[in-house]
Amino acid sequence: MYSQVDSNKRRTTVLIILFIAFVLALGWLIGYVYNDGPAGLVLAVGVSLVMTLTSYYHGDKMALWTAQAKPVVKNDNPYLYRIVENLCITAGLQMPKVYLIPDHSINAFATGRDPGHASIAVTAGAIAKLANEELEGVIAHELSHIKNYDIRLMTVVIVLVGAISLLADWFLRGRFLRSSNNDRGGNGVLMIIGLVLIILSPLIARLIQFAVSRRREFLADASGALLTRYPEGLARALEKIAAEARPMQGANHATAHLFFSNPFGTQKLATLFSTHPPVAERVAALRQMA
């Protein structure tokens, strides 16, 4: 389990470095074409930062509202509250706010910018359909997202995706609106390569985002198994989700990456561009830890 955690951390670091390098290379390319230097990159990152900081400080409330999650205190649902409380004590985490999602599918998510401002939401279906050790595995996975600061990491990734999308959009608009006298036309091959790269850059950015998100899901699985010391519980919970293949009623693409499993279900079409790795791969990785 420790080796799995270390491996996922290293791979995530490599992906983030590649992501940042891609942003810088794209900014340099646009500066080369327009002979404007890094101005476009600075402006794009600045706008993305403003948008993302708003999500960073208020995104948890929006995610909980979108999922129709209701706050839970100890007397409302002692079973759920005590599982979260016991796992937090084991992990050395501050107790997050607990929410219940009135949905019959099996799912959960954690949100908040750090362990001191965290919330965890669990569906009614997860409580009703999962055995005790299976529900513990799911909640341990979500608490691992909090402990590993995954929400902060994904905020950085969103900034980078936003910067790339803005750069590509401004470049393509500028190609038709600006005078060609301002363009650097000395290298036609580089111009063609650059244009193709910029057109494809939003797709490349999304693919890197999916890769980072999937590595964090594997990491949270490993960390959650390490917390409960019972990988089989989490593996069985995933198998029940795969067998049910039931999408959430309020599934939303903006918050899909937060959930324990793909809220749109586990059909092939739903998972093709999912931020979650295939359930079979997650189960196999967990059973290798046993």
Domain residue ranges of the chain, discontinuous segments joined by + = 2-289
The whole-number average pLDDT for the span 29-35 is: 68
Confidence (pLDDT) at 172: 67
Confidence (pLDDT) at 204: 76
The predicted-structure confidence for 207-222, as pLDDT tens digits, reads as follows 777 777 888 899 899 9
Q: Which residue has the higher pLDDT, 235 or 12?
A: 235
Q: Is the pLDDT of residue 173 over 50?
A: yes
User: How far apart are the C-alpha atoms of 65 and 76, rounded to whole Å?
Assistant: 19
Q: Is the pLDDT of residue 179 over 50?
A: no
Strands of the chain (E only): list them.
Answer: 70-72, 97-101, 108-111, 119-123
Q: Which residue has the higher pLDDT, 178 or 121?
A: 121
Question: Which residues does residue 97 pair with via DSSP β-bridges, in sequence order?
Answer: 119
Confidence (pLDDT) at 174: 61
Of 32-36, 206-210, 224-228, 269-273, the one with minimum mean pLDDT is 269-273
Binned at pLDDT 50, 70 and 90, residue 175 comes out as low
Tokens, residue 266: 């586990």
Looking at this protein, which amino acid is placed at residue 124? A
Q: Is the pLDDT of residue 34 over 70?
A: no
**Any idea which residue has 């791979």 for tokens?**
11
The listed range with the strongest mean pLDDT (168-177, 203-212, 220-229) is 220-229
Confidence (pLDDT) at 23: 73
Of 30-39, 69-78, 122-131, 219-228, the one with minimum mean pLDDT is 30-39
Cβ pair 126, 138 in contact under 8 A: yes
Tokens, residue 265: 């279900």
Distant-in-sequence, close-in-space partners of 250: CB < 8 Å, separation ≥ 6: 66, 67, 68, 103
- For the annotated catalytic residues, the residue numbers are 142
Q: Is the pLDDT of residue 269 over 70?
A: no
Distant-in-sequence, close-in-space partners of 189: CB < 8 Å, separation ≥ 6: none
Long-range CB pairs of 225-228 (<8 Å, 24+ gap) are 225/1, 225/137, 225/140, 225/286, 225/289, 226/1, 226/2, 226/5, 227/87, 227/90, 227/91, 227/140, 227/143, 227/144, 228/87, 228/133, 228/136, 228/137, 228/140
The predicted-structure confidence for 101-135, as pLDDT tens digits, reads as follows 999 999 999 988 888 989 999 999 999 999 999 99
- This prediction's pTM: 0.77
Cβ pair 75, 49 in contact under 8 A: no
Report DSSP state, residue 259. B
User: How far apart are the C-alpha atoms of 83 and 87, rounded to whole Å?
Assistant: 6
Cβ pair 119, 97 in contact under 8 A: yes
Tokens, residue 98: 């607990």
Looking at this protein, which amino acid is placed at residue 30? I
Of 163-172, 187-196, 222-231, 270-279, the one with minimum mean pLDDT is 187-196
The predicted-structure confidence for 236-255, as pLDDT tens digits, reads as follows 999 999 898 788 887 777 67
Q: Kindly list the distances between the CA atom of residue 155 and the CA atoms of 52, 60, 117, 160, 181, in Å, as whole numbers in the listed order.
A: 7, 12, 15, 9, 38
Confidence (pLDDT) at 22: 76
